[in-house]
C-alpha cells in the first residue's frame, strides 16, 4: 500500500498525441480561443486552479473534524458551508460528508460517470473512473476494499454512496489509534486521498 501523498504532477512536456481525439481537443481549444470564447490566459488560470486542488485540502478538513467535535457536527450537517469556514472553497453545489464509525464504513463511487469532489481531492485517480470499480463496488464492496488491503470486521455495515446527482462526497475516516497527542498538521498527514474516498482507512501514526 502506498503511503505517498505526492501524486505524480501533470506533465508539461506532454507525450505526442496518438489519436485524432487528441488533435480534436487541441483543435477545439485553438478555435474557441480564436473565436473569443475564452482567452489563453483564462485557460491557464483554470489549469492553475485545478492543479492547486489536491487531497491536502480534504485532509485539513478531516484533521479539524477529528480535533473539534463542534466543527465535525456542523460538517456532517452542512458540509459545504462548514468546509468553507476553513477557507476551502467548494465548487460542488453541495458536499455530503459521511463519517466512518465502529459500526459503519462508507465508500463512494459514481457508477454513471466519474463525479468526484475535485475541489477537495484534486482529479480522481484512474481506478475511480474505471469500469471495473464502477461495476463492482456497488454490489461487492468488501471484495473491492480487500484489493486496497482494507479488511473490515464482519459486524461493520458497509455503506456505498453512488454520486448520481448534484452532491459530492467526502468520507471522514476514523481517527487512528495512537493519534491522541498529534496536532492538526500531524493528523492531516495521516489522511490519504483513498481514505477520503473510502477504499482505505487513514494511516496509523509512526510508533
Partner 1 sequence: MTNSDTPPAKVHDLGGEPGGAAIDRAERAVTFWEQRVDALLVLLADRERRIMDVAELRRGIESLGPEAYDSLNYYERWAASIASTVVEKGIVTQAELDQRVAEIRARKTAGQ
Partner 2 sequence: MSARFKIGDRVRIDDRDPPVHHRVPRYARGHVGVVERLCGAFGQPELLAYGGDGDPAQMLYRVHLKQTELWADYAENPDDTLEIEIFEHWLSPA
Whether 195 is a known active-site residue: answer no
Which candidate in 54, 67, 114, 179 is catalytic? 114
DSSP 8-state secondary structure symbol assigned to residue 80: H
Whether 67 is a known active-site residue: answer no
Q: How far apart are CA 63 and CA 175, in angstroms?
A: 9
Binding of partner 1 at residue 42 (CB under 8 A)? yes
Residue 156: HSE in the Cβ half-sphere, 13 Å Cα cutoff: 17
Binding of partner 2 at residue 102 (CB under 8 A)? no
Binding of partner 2 at residue 68 (CB under 8 A)? no
Residue 161 interacting partner from partner 2, partner 1, none (CB closer than 5 to 8 Å by kind): partner 2
b/e 108-124 (16+ beta carbons within 10 angstroms → b): bbbbeebbbbbbbbbbb
Q: How far apart are CA 36 and CA 44, in angstroms?
A: 15
Contact (CB, 8 A) for 202 and 173:
yes
Among 33, 56, 123, 167, binds partner 2 (CB under 8 A): 167
- Residue numbers of the site for partner 1 (CB under 8 A)? 7-17, 19-32, 35, 37-38, 42-43, 46-47, 50-51, 109, 111-114, 123, 125-127, 129-136, 138-139, 144, 147-148, 162
- Residue numbers of the site for partner 2 (CB under 8 A)? 93-94, 96, 111-112, 138-143, 154, 156-167
Amino acid at each position: 500500500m502506498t503511503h505517498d501523498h505526492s501524486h505524480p504532477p501533470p506533465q508539461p512536456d506532454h507525450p505526442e498525441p496518438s489519436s485524432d481525439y487528441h488533435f480534436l481537443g487541441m483543435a477545439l481549444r485553438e478555435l474557441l480561443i480564436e473565436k473569443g470564447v475564452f482567452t489563453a490566459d483564462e485557460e491557464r488560470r483554470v489549469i492553475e486552479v485545478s492543479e492547486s486542488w489536491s487531497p491536502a485540502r480534504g485532509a485539513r478538513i478531516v484533521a479539524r473534524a477529528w480535533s473539534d467535535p463542534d466543527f465535525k457536527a456542523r460538517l456532517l450537517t452542512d458540509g459545504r458551508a462548514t468546509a468553507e469556514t476553513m477557507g476551502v472553497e467548494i465548487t460542488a453545489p453541495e458536499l455530503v460528508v459521511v463519517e466512518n464509525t465502529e459500526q459503519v464504513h462508507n465508500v463512494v463511487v459514481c457508477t454513471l460517470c466519474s463525479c468526484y469532489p475535485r475541489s477537495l481531492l484534486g482529479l480522481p485517480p484512474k481506478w475511480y473512473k474505471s469500469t471495473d470499480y464502477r461495476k463492482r463496488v456497488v454490489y461487492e464492496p468488501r471484495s473491492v476494499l480487500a484489493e486496497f488491503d482494507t479488511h473490515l470486521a464482519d459486524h461493520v455495515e458497509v455503506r456505498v454512496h453512488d454520486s448520481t446527482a448534484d452532491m459530492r462526497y467526502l468520507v471522514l475516516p476514523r481517527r487512528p489509534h495512537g493519534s491522541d497527542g498529534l496536532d492538526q498538521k500531524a493528523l492531516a498527514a495521516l489522511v490519504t486521498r483513498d481514505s477520503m474516498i473510502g477504499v482505505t482507512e487513514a494511516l496509523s501514526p509512526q510508533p
